[in-house]
Amino acid sequence: MTFHADLASYTLAQGHRIVEPGALELRLAASSGDVRHRVSLTLTGAERTVDHRRRLLCEVRAK
């Protein structure tokens, strides 16, 4: 599975968005209280600022 790192960005107190390396957990769920699958992954690379052109959608294909 591949997804764009922009989807892991968050907003700092100063108001700009960043992506930083580290551990993440993706959760596939029917609702926030009904998590059915979890996938652990690690983002690598340098911390970077994300601007208004960031990716907001993730196309997924399951087999």
* 29: confidence class by pLDDT, cuts 50, 70, 90: very high
Between 52 and 32, residue with greater pLDDT: 32
Beta strands in 1-63 (DSSP E): 10-11, 17-19, 22-31, 34-43, 48-50
The per-residue pLDDT for range 44-59, each reduced to its tens digit, is: 888 988 888 887 777 7
Q: Contact at 8 Å (CB) between 36 and 16?
A: no
Q: How many domains does the chain have?
A: 1
Q: Contact at 8 Å (CB) between 8 and 21?
A: no
Q: What is the span of the domain harbouring residue 29?
A: 5-50
Quick check: is 11 in a domain? yes
Quick check: is 41 in a domain? yes
pLDDT for res 1:
62
pLDDT exceeds cutoff 70 at 43: yes
Q: What is the mean pLDDT of residues 13-34?
A: 91
Quick check: is 57 in a domain? no
